Amino acid sequence: AQSVTQLDSQVPVFEEAPVELRCNYSSSVSVYLFWYVQYPNQGLQLLLKYLSGSTLVESINGFEAEFNKSQTSFHLRKPSVHISDTAEYFCAVSERASGGSYIPTFGRGTSLIVHP
Amino acid sequence: NAGVTQTPKFQVLKTGQSMTLQCAQDMNHEYMSWYRQDPGMGLRLIHYSVGAGITDQGEVPNGYNVSRSTTEDFPLRLLSAAPSQTSVYFCASSRRGQPQHFGDGTRLSIL
């Protein structure tokens, strides 16, 4: 069974600074990887995904994540954050296995707090 | 295209009461799931379904019941509400291996 560890529960950062939110996973088979964002009092929205192909994936609002199979990681990065990026970020993994459920497992979340 | 619709958005129950949280999707997704979100715990899977007539338990199924009679609907039933079930509940749908689409959540308080 898969598992996800988000190493930081809270990441405070100043506006325009770079940020990295860390995510490690555990699985015995190939995986799909996702990052979701949750703004206050809202549901989760997909930020970016790795299904196959290029290990570096990007979102439309400047975030990127790199799938590192040897380190079983999928860290999320942004070179310059905005106040509006303040939100909860969730990493998720689902196993790509014949007969598997494909239902993702979520990490506990990282609260990104951007200060002016 | 409404996506995933959850009702109600808010609910207060007394201990021992039962209720059903509704979830409907209009994207013809075969996969549907229910999660609960608690502070510091992330999202925990309650039950899921991989198609009409097929359901299975997730990580925290006790005290909850589901059924999937149609592709569109996946209701979650609380059999006898307990204060420990106070939480925010999210329903999600997807195609196999694809990202999930989430509803806006139901905020449930059990007194």
pLDDT tens for A58-77 read 888 899 999 999 999 999 99
Of residues A6 and A97, which shows the higher confidence score? A6
Residue B1: the pLDDT is 61
User: Is-contact A37 A43, C-beta < 8 A?
Assistant: no
Distance CA B62, CA B60 (A): 6
Contacts of B58 in chain A (CB under 8 A): 103
Within an 8 Å CB–CB cutoff, is residue B56 touching chain A?
A: yes
Task: Report the alpha-carbon angle B25-A23-A46, nearest 5.
Answer: 25
Task: Name every residue whose Cβ is closer than 8 Å to that of residue B51 and which is 6 or more positions away in sequence.
Answer: B30, B31, B68, B71
B99/A46 touch (CB, cutoff 8 Å), yes or no = yes
Contacts of A36 in chain B (CB under 8 A): 102
- Mean pLDDT score of chain A: 92
pLDDT band of residue A1 (cuts 50, 70, 90) is confident
Q: Which of A43, A101, A104 sits opposite B50 (nearest CB)?
A: A101
Mark the ranges of chain B whose per-residue pLDDT is less than 70: 1
Residue A99: the pLDDT is 66
